[in-house]
Structures are given as C-alpha cells and as structure tokens.
C-alpha cells in the first residue's frame, strides 16, 4: 500500500510521534524461515481443542479468523488453514533485531510489545523532515530483517497507531497537526484503541457506528452512559492524547505457564511439567547471559482460584538450583488437593552475568554436561534436549501459554 498523507502546511507540528508495527509478525517470521508458507492461510497457536490463535496470516483473516479465537472455531471458519505451534525463540530473536536498529537510530523509543514501537521524534524537524526520516528507518528495517512493517506519524500515540492500522499491510501514513479529527471522522468506532467488541456493540445500540457521530455526542451523555471512560472515549474520537512515549527499559523477568487440556491431580505429572518449564527458562537466562535472584511458582485450581509463592536465592542460572527451588515451592503451594488447571513459573530480579560455579555443589561432570546441552540447544533449538525428570506421561494433554514468554527479553 502506498503512503497516505493528509497535509496542512500552515500548521507547525509541535510534537511528532511515530508508531511502527510489524505486520502479522509471527506469520512473517515463519514465512521467512520457510518460503513455501507464503500466501497460505496460516494459524500460529495450540493444536489441542483448548488451543487459541496467537496470530494468523492475512489469508486466514479473510475467513474471519483472528487472534485470541479458539483454534477449533478458526478451523471451522478456515478448514484449509495450516496450524503451526510457533517458535518463541525465533520471534524474540527477530524482535531483538528490529529493536537494535531502532535503538541505534531513534532519540527515544518505547517498545509496546514484541512487534510494536513508539518513537518520539519531536524537534527533529529542525534538522530534517520527520516523515522522511521515519520512512528511511522503515525501509532500513525491511532491508536488514526482510520483515514487512507499517508505520504512522502524527502529533500523538493514538492517531499514529490508528494511521498505522489504516496503512497496513506494509504501508506508511502521516497525519499532520490539525487534521487529526478529519482523519478519524469517517472511520468505524472499532478503529479507536480501547473500543472492544462489548463497547462497540453498546455504541451501535446508540446508533453510533462512525467516529464523526461519536464526536458529535455531548461528552456529558457519554459520561452518563460509560462513566469516566466516556470522556476518555470522547477525547480519543477528537484525536486528543497526551500520553508520553515511555523510554524502553529491558524487562526484569521472564515467565511461562501451561494450561492443561484436562484438569489434573497427577502430582508426578505436575512436577514434571514444572521441572520442564523451569529448565527452559534457565536455558534462556544462560543464553542471554543473565542470572535470577527470585523464582515464583503459580497454580490455578479447577475452580479458577489462583495462588502463587516466591522464593529469593543467590544469583544463579543453574538448572539444578532453579528446578529444585521450583519443585519445593510447588510442594508447599499445592495444599487444596483439588484438580489443577494451570501451572506457571516466573524468574525475576534479572541481572547480566554468567553463572558462578559452586565449589561445594557443582561437579565437573555436571558443568560439562550443562555446557554441552546448551550448545546443542543453541544449534538445534531449545526443545532438542530435556532432562528425564521433565518428561511427562502424555504431552498431548497440555499446551503452553506462550503469551508471556515471548515478551521476556
């Protein structure tokens, strides 16, 4: 798609905020890794009946498939779709590549998610045009990563995000100061961030389907109907957004969790799953040259009561230490003896550093074994090797919720 531009040359831009979003990111990475997937309806998500769609290709979206939809329903809408379980390590690696390019170029940026960025370009017009600079950055990202990325430029985060959405797929847009309202007016209210299906249905019942109609509503009426969110909605419809670009700070925790296809009370299996998750997180720590000083374990019972417990420890990335502490936490936490729906492990208080060998607990054999396993995992993937204690009886009875894991670093 070509560039969409709405110009008003008499207005000077006081603030310039760029929004960049990698198009169908997970799918784009998979297509880079296997060109045969290009042009096919793809679904990234769990394969079980309780799996959900994490991402899907534009070809699948034409059938009504969207993220967070149950995979079972998605296949009913698009029976020919190919399901891919996904590779969070690969997605994190490509996200890191884009992040580094932006970090080298932008004066200040915010990483909103694994595939979404805000850049504050305010003041850069004194040296060169913000739109030209942003366009060059976008093309550099595409050239160096081979990933499609769209962008929107305006005076604030809200309008820029909407502009990016209008420019997709693989396009760019600019809305200059003073044209925010005219740009938003003809759009569906669903285009406004924060308006989900429930709020949209409520507005539809009021006869409000377009942003221009929402703008014409008295703010007092919206407040009466929606509370304080009514004024926020009114401001957004008028393109008003003063939220700042928050400088990117690397995350200080990593986590993963597993939702079982069938709720279970099998303690041996539960301990095996926790052991496996902790082992994978420990490998990610070592891969990124990081250590952790706090580990947490979470369980969710069949009645949806969720409890967690954490423990501090000396900075480490040792499988043996972390798995032992995770299992100890689980044993202390699992007290109700009810069926369990979900278990999770979280490592926090991360810091850069390499694992310090313990003179009393580590053996040369264990150290050499761990190093060899890590080299194999780096070369062939994190799942190529696992400890026997992490192998549970029936892999088909569970699936990992990866929404947290890929945001880790």
Q: Residue 98: how many CB atoms within 10 A of its CB?
A: 22
CA torsion sign for 186, 190, 193, 195 is positive
Helix or strand (DSSP H, E) at 350: none
Say which residue the tokens 């993220």 belong to.
67
CB 172 within 8 A of CB 258: no
Q: What is the rounded distance in angstroms from the CA atom of residue 43 to the CA atom of residue 55?
A: 6
Q: Which of 116, 166, 366, 404 is catalytic?
A: 116
CB 54 within 8 A of CB 402: yes
Partners of 295 in the β-ladder: 311, 347
Residue environment code for 4-19, b if the CB has 16+ CB neighbours within 10 A, otherwise e: eeeeeeeeebeebbbb
Say which residue the tokens 């060169």 belong to.
128
Task: Tell me the backbone φ, ψ of residue 339, rounded to 5 degrees.
Answer: -60, 145
Q: What is the rounded distance in angstroms from the CA atom of residue 180 to the CA atom of residue 387?
A: 56
Strands 42-45 and 82-84: parallel
Burial of 27 (0-12, 13-18, 19+ CB in 10 A): buried
DSSP per residue over 295-334, as a string? EEEEEEETT--EEEEEEEEEEE--HHHHHHHHHHHHHHH-
Helix or strand (DSSP H, E) at 273: helix 267-287
Longest dimension (CA), the chain: 73
144 is an active site residue: no
Catalytic residue IDs:
116
């Amino acid at each position: 798609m070509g560039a969409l531009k709405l110009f008003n040359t008499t207005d000077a831009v006081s603030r310039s905020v760029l929004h960049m979003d990698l198009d169908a990111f997970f799918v784009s990475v998979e297509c880079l890794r296997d060109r045969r997937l290009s042009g096919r309806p793809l679904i990234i998500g769990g394969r079980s009946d309780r799996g959900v769609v994490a991402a899907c290709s534009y070809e699948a979206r034409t059938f009504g498939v969207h993220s967070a939809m149950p995979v079972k329903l998605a296949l009913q809408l698009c029976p020919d779709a190919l399901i891919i379980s996904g590779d969070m390590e690969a997605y994190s690696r490509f996200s890191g590549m884009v992040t580094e390019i932006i970090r080298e170029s932008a004066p200040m940026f915010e990483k909103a998610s694994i595939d979404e960025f805000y850049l504050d370009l305010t003041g850069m017009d004194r040296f060169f045009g913000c739109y030209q600079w942003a366009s060059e950055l976008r093309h550099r990202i595409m050239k160096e990563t081979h990933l499609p990325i769209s962008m929107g430029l305006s005076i604030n985060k809200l309008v820029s995000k909407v502009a990016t959405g209008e420019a997709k797929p693989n396009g760019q847009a600019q809305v200059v100061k003073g044209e925010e309202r005219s740009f938003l007016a003809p759009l569906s209210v669903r285009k406004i961030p924060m308006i989900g299906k429930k709020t949209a249905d409520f507005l539809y019942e009021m006869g409000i389907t377009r942003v221009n109609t929402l703008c014409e509503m008295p703010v007092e009426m919206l407040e009466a109907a929606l509370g304080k969110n009514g004024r926020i909605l009114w401001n957004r419809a008028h393109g008003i957004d003063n939220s700042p670009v928050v400088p990117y700070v690397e995350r200080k925790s990593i986590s993963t969790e597993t939702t079982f296809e069938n709720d279970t009370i099998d303690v041996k299996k539960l301990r095996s799953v926790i052991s496996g998750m902790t082992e994978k997180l420990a490998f990610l720590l070592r891969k990124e040259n990081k250590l952790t000083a706090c580990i947490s374990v979470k369980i969710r019972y069949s009645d949806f009561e969720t409890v967690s417990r954490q423990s501090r420890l000396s900075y480490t990335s040792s499988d043996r230490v972390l798995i032992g502490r995770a299992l100890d936490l689980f044993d202390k936490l699992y007290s109700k003896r009810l069926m369990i729906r979900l278990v999770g492990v979280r490592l926090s208080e991360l810091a850069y550093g390499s694992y310090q060998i313990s003179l009393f607990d580590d053996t040369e054999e264990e150290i050499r074994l761990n190093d060899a396993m890590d080299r194999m995992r780096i070369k062939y993937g994190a799942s190529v090797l696992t400890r026997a204690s992490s192998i549970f009886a029936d892999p088909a009875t569970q699936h990992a919720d990866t929404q947290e894991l890929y945001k880790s670093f």
